[in-house]
Structures are given as structure tokens and as C-alpha cells.
Amino acid sequence: MDDKKIINVLTSSKTIALVGATDNEQRPAFHVMEYLLSQGYVVIPVNPKLAGQKLLGQAVYAELKDIPQPVDMVDVFRNAEAAWGIAQEAIAIGAKTLWLQIGVINEQAAVLAADAGLTVVMDRCPKIEIPRLGLAKSA
């Protein structure tokens, strides 16, 4: 994935569903959600164990299909095996991008999503890419 495509994803996405969101402040998913919120994105946490609660002030949903608004990007903090099912869910809700975090590599999920018209970013982290590409908003 070239930088132009990543810049396009990061500048055109406004609402991000973060699958695998956690309230554990030691986990990368927590810090990435916190960072994305600080950058002005609407971040919707998805985690069935936390559904119905608030995480960083945002309502948590059990599944992507439960989110009551359109989602631009689905950011995946789950293992590679789970990515296939999440790709199917991202397609079903009409997401524009499937973003698989660092270490989440699933070529079949990537092909499925791409064939359905989604942009796919794999094995990258927006918290790293935003400042690297000069897109960070000052705090």
C-alpha cells in the first residue's frame, strides 16, 4: 500500500469502528483509540464483553451491525483468524476501508474486502501512519 492511498484513507475517513477495543490501558488498542479521538475522528469501540458500557466516553457495541450510524473505516485489533469474519461484517455494513493492525495479516480477508470494493490496509497502525505522513493535528 502506497502512502497516497493511506493518506486518502486517513483524510477521507471520519468515523472509525475499532474492533477489539479494550478498557485495559496497557493494550495498544486502548492507546490507538485514545489517539484517534484526539485527532478528531469519531471512534466507535466494538467489543462484546464491554457492550453497553462507555469507553473513553464512547458507547461500546457488541458487533459492527449494532452500530447505528455509517462507518468509514473498520480498524481491527483482533487476531488474524478473526479478520475473515470481520471483513464480512465490514462489507455488510457498507464500510469503505478495512484496516488490519500491525501483526494482523490475513490475505483471504484482504482479498474478500478488496473484491467487495473496500480499500484494505494491512499490517499498519494509524497511530504510526498519521504522524509519519504529516497528518497529525496538534493537541
The predicted model scores a pTM of: 0.97
Distance CA 16, CA 33 (A): 9
With respect to residue 9, please indicate whether it lies within any of the assigned structural domains. yes
With respect to residue 137, please indicate whether it lies within any of the assigned structural domains. no
Q: Give per-10-residue mean pLDDT for the chain (139 aa).
A: 94 98 98 98 98 98 98 97 98 98 97 98 97 89
> Domain containing 13: what range?
3-132
With respect to residue 10, please indicate whether it lies within any of the assigned structural domains. yes
Q: What is the pLDDT of residue 139?
A: 57
Q: What is the pLDDT of residue 138?
A: 76
Domain count, the chain: 1
With respect to residue 23, please indicate whether it lies within any of the assigned structural domains. yes
Strands (E), 22-139: 42-46, 54-55, 58-59, 73-76, 97-100, 119-122
Question: Hey, is 90 helix, strand or coil?
Answer: helix
- CATH of residue 97's domain is 3.40.50.720
